[in-house]
Homo-oligomer: A and B are copies of this chain.
Amino acid sequence: MTIRIQAEDFDAGAEIARISAVSTNVGGVCSFLGLVRDSGENSAITAMTLEHYPGMTEKQLAKIEAEARERWPLDDSLIIHRYGRFEPGEQIVLVVTASAHRKAAFEACEFLIDWLKTKAPFWKSEETPDGTTWVEAKAADNAAAEKWGE
């Protein structure tokens, strides 16, 4: 179980390879890699800045990772979330889950990213040709997180 909140970039392939090798009980490794897109709801995005609440972020992520391990039989899991200013194409977040069975790996991975989107203390602002604006929370993201219950 690893949680990393960092400004630096990461090597998604190396992380997936590491988690694949933790045990020969692992039958499936699911991963989600989030990247900065160059198009928002209304206009082109030239850059994005992610701000977070140091201390609370780590605490909240540890809590949700513990919940995922309770709900699904995971052999390992990883969350890496970056903060700082990024340009389109850059990596922001990586979630990896490993389990004996693929359904557990998929569900736990989706649960973690849904939760990250709505409950981890990160805030995004986007730079567009019209200026910089804070990204508003999306109803779809809240609905996605709520489907997992409390």
Q: Which residues of A contact B (CB under 8 A)?
A: 11-14, 16-17, 20-21, 24-39, 88-89, 91, 100, 102-103, 105-106, 109-110, 113, 140, 144
Contacts and interface: CB of A to CB of B under 8 A. Distances in A.
Given A12-B17, A24-B37, 8 more contacts: A12-B16, A12-B20, A16-B33, A25-B39, A27-B36, A27-B37, A31-B33, A34-B102
A101 B63 CA distance: 26
27 contacts: A12-B17, A13-B13, A13-B14, A16-B33, A20-B35, A20-B91, A21-B89, A24-B37, A25-B38, A27-B36, A27-B37, A28-B32, A28-B33, A28-B34, A28-B35, A29-B33, A29-B35, A30-B31, A30-B32, A30-B33, A31-B32, A31-B33, A32-B102, A32-B105, A32-B106, A103-B140, A106-B106
Contacts of A16: 12-13, 16, 31, 33
A106 to B, nearest CB: 5
Nearest 3 Cβ contacts at the A-B interface: A13-B13, A24-B38, A24-B88
Contacts of A39: 25, 100
Nearest to A13: B13
